[in-house]
Amino acid sequence: MAITITQSDVNTEVSILGIQGDLDASNYKDAISMAMEVHSTGAQYLVIDMSDLRFMASSGLVALHSIALVMRDELAPDPEYGWDAFHSISRDKTGGAQDSVVLLNPQPRVQKTLEKTGFDEQFKIYSDLESAIASF
């Protein structure tokens, strides 16, 4: 997996987190750490670019949820507690779509995972970067 961070030219409060490859147990903590770093530098909003994400495991779902919490100034569940991270996702599902994180162009395999788990209702999903940035 590779992660890139870019700043929006249109809105300085928006950063774009690009994830390439697979998001799984071997690297999901890296994605969370990068989001924490972005948020600590002042970004208020985050577009997660999934254009080049080929596969997302259940740990990738934990990463998405944790990133959303970080961007809302909330504590992410400690990944070392395993199932507690999943229970945290379940408790947060009643809140509707995230206001500070949107997803960009998930590939069909990843889109299917988002749909099966209900994450497509938790995150607004856009097919182009301009619309994703304008959503904030």
d(CA 39, CA 58): 23
* pLDDT digits 0-9 by tens, 38-89: 999 999 999 999 999 999 999 999 999 999 999 999 887 776 665 555 555 5
Q: What is the Rg, in whole angstroms, of the alpha carbon atoms belonging to the chain?
A: 13
The Cα-based distances of 3 to 6, 29, 71 in angstroms read 10, 12, 17
Please name each of the domains of the chain with its CATH number.
Answer: 2-134 (3.30.750.24)
Res 5 pLDDT > 80: yes
The confidence score (pLDDT) of residue 79 equals 65
pTM of the model: 0.89
Mean pLDDT of 90-109: 80
Token reading at 136: 């904030």
What pLDDT score was predicted for residue 98? 81
Distance in angstroms (rounded) separating the CA atoms of residues 22 and 1:
6
